[in-house]
Each structure stands twice: as structure tokens, then as C-alpha cells.
Amino acid sequence: MFLDAGFDQVSVAQVADAAEVSKRTLFAYFPTKEDLVLHRFADHETESGRVIRLRAARQSPLTALRDHFVDGLNRRDPITGLNDEPQVLALYKMVLETPALAARLLQFNARSFEAVAAALADTTAVTGTAARLAAAQIVGVIWTLATDNATALAGGMTADARLPEASAAADLGFAMLRGGVKLGP
């Protein structure tokens, strides 16, 4: 319904009616209208924290996260922004063009940030402020990579055409994390 009519043109009452449930029941599963659209993104909000916790012995958190992201690119996992299936493209386009949905995604990023900071604090010597600063950078890189991919595909590029640039950008992003951001003297 949202993809057909647009997010702002569909009411919660219409969704509840189409699902043959009450608005109260709908809100029991989806606390906000935005959650109706973005629930699949929410499934991934602690994914980076899990990747850090489940990484192989002696594998660095950044290597595990980079490998996981690149694997997602190669599989065309929608969470990487590199999926050009029509419904996925339509969803990303709607999210990118709807301020309320974009704002809700930022809340998911905040939970991702917390999950990464906790995973770093629990599994490495990086704790406290350092863990939170590292988490902010990691989540920012992943968010930027996925958003850049989604924007390129929403602009008409195919996933296959974008893959080389997306892979190079992932390498650059994670290299910057490993080496520290160098902005000049």
C-alpha cells in the first residue's frame, strides 16, 4: 500500500483494515506507522554487534565487519543498499524521499551504535568512551556505504554496475577505520 500510494497518503487505519486487524492490534506489533515500513531494517539494527561477537578467534572486529559487508554486497543483501529488485528499489526510494522514514532509520542506527559499542567493550580492550567513539565511526561508515549504494541504484544504476564501486568504497571505508582518518596537516 505504501509503495503504491506513498507513505503519507496511507493511514494506519487503512493498513489495519487491509490486514483485517484493529489499529490497537497493529500498534501492538508496530509501535509507529514508520515501523510498518521499516521493520525489515530493524531486524538488522544489532547485526554489526553480533558480527563482532561471533567473529573468528584472532580476527579483528573491523576485518569481520568488512568481510560481512562485502559478503552482503556480493549476495545483494538489501541492507547494503546494493539490491535492484523492483520492490527493494521502490522501498529505498520511498525511504530516501520521506523525511519521517529517514528519521526513523536514524533511530535504528542509534541502536546499532549501542550494539557495536557494547560488543567492542565486551570482546576487546576498547571500552568506555573509546568504544563509543569507535562504534560511532563504524556505524557511520556502514550507513554511508549502504546509503550511497541505495542512492546510486535509485538513480538508475544496476547492482551489477555498482558492485565494483561499492566494493572499492567498502575497502576505503574500512581502511580509513583501520588507519585512522587522515585529513591533512
Q: What is the pLDDT of residues 60-78, one digit of tens each?
A: 999 999 999 999 999 999 9
DSSP-based helix, strand, coil % in the chain, nearest 5: 75, 0, 25
What's the confidence (pLDDT) of residue 58? Answer: 93
Please report the DSSP string for 65-121 in residue order. Answer: HHHHHHHHHHHT-GGGT----HHHHHHHHHHHH-HHHHHHHHHHHHHHHHHHHHHHH
φ, ψ for residue 54 (rounded to 5)? -100, 10
50 vs 47: CA distance, rounded Å: 5
Q: Which three cell numbers stand for residue 39?
A: 521493520
- Under a CB-based contact definition with an 8 Å cutoff, are residues 182 and 150 in contact? no
pTM to 2 decimals?
A: 0.86
Q: Residue 145 has what pLDDT?
A: 98
Of the two residues 34 and 146, the one the predictor is more confident about is: 146
pLDDT at 184: 66
Cell numbers 573468528 correspond to what residue? Answer: 56
The residue length of the chain stands at 185
Q: What is the pLDDT of residues 87-145, one digit of tens each?
A: 999 888 888 889 999 888 888 888 999 999 999 999 999 999 999 999 999 999 999 99
Of 116 and 33, which is predicted with more confidence? Answer: 116
Confidence class for position 175, pLDDT limits 50, 70, 90: very high
Q: What is the pLDDT of residue 10?
A: 83
Least confident segment among 21-25, 39-43, 61-65, 79-83: 39-43
Which distant-in-sequence residues (6+ apart) come within 8 Å of 124 by Cβ? 61, 131
Phi, psi dihedrals of residue 158, rounded to the nearest 5°: -85, 160
Taking the alpha carbons at both ends of the chain, their separation in whole angstroms is 52
The mean of the pLDDT values for the chain is: 91
Q: Cβ neighbours of residue 172 under 8 Å, at least 6 residues apart?
A: none
